[in-house]
């Protein structure tokens, strides 16, 4: 299983710019084949050019360790914003619209995020929402339709975050672009209600609730 570790902000001394750096650890990074796949998927994401997707500047193999260099994005995460309470309908819909545009662009190139959540979205001071970590997403084989699935797990573990992961991710089934759209729906609910439709962080308990129950209805002004 691949586990991505946050290394923090760095300065690109060659181009004199701030960048974000992440590295990968785990079984997928322990083999040449695994590292090659991780780099191939990150490079595919690097071809994406969209105003709502943080750019992948570079992908490196440093002494057998895969590192992805991302665009530095100024602003607060959506998670930080939601700690202050729910958004207005207009604010939430605008953020969701931008994220939907970003996902559509990624899916058109065969890139599935699989871990979309508020902490992976930055809201810049000018109101733009940017999706982070697309460079460590999963790639659908070239020429395949986005409805074609890819493995839902790497090495048997949940790929995704409990509370935002689609039901098929809990069940270790193959996933496609619909898993990203499910996560976006959860986030839109949270932006409006200030809470997720299915609270909790335990994957085993959540899968039972997600598969059994309907999402609660939103109530309030403008809903």
Cβ atoms of 122 and 78 closer than 8 Å: yes
Question: Under DSSP, is residue 119 helix (H, G, I), strand (E, B) or coil?
Answer: helix
Write b or e for each residue in 58-71: b if 16 or more Cβ atoms lie within 10 A of its Cβ, otherwise e.
Answer: ebeeeeeebbbbbb
- Quick one: residue 6, left, alpha or beta (phi over 0 = left, psi -120 to 50 = alpha)? beta
Cβ atoms of 100 and 206 closer than 8 Å: no
Q: Is 115 a catalytic residue?
A: yes
Q: Which of 104, 102, 94 is nearest to 178 (CA)?
A: 104
Cβ atoms of 116 and 183 closer than 8 Å: yes
User: 115, 133, 176, 180: which one is catalytic?
Assistant: 115
Q: Which of 98, 70, 72, 63 is nearest to 188 (CA)?
A: 98
Cβ atoms of 78 and 119 closer than 8 Å: yes
Question: Which residues carry out catalysis?
Answer: 115
């Amino acid at each position: 299983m691949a586990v991505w570790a946050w290394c923090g902000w760095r300065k690109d001394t060659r181009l004199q710019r701030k960048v974000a750096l992440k590295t990968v650890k785990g079984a997928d990074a322990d083999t040449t084949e695994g590292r090659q796949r991780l780099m191939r998927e990150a490079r595919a994401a690097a071809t994406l050019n969209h105003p709502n997707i943080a750019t992948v500047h570079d992908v490196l193999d440093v002494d057998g360790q895969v590192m992805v260099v991302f665009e530095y994005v100024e602003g607060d995460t959506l998670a930080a914003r939601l700690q202050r309470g729910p958004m207005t309908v207009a604010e939430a819909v605008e953020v969701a619209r931008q994220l939907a545009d970003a996902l559509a662009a990624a899916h058109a190139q065969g890139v599935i995020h699989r871990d979309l959540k508020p902490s992976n979205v930055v809201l810049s001071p000018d109101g733009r929402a940017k999706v982070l970590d697309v460079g460590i997403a999963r790639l659908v084989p070239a020429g395949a339709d986005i409805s074609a699935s890819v493995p839902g797990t790497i090495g048997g573990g949940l790929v995704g975050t409990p509370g935002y992961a689609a039901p098929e991710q809990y069940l270790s089934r193959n996933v496609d672009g619909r898993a990203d759209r499910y996560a976006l729906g959860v986030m839109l609910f949270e932006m409006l209600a200030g809470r997720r439709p299915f609270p909790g962080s335990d994957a085993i308990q959540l899968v039972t609730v997600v598969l059994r129950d309907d999402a609660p209805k939103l109530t309030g002004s403008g809903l």
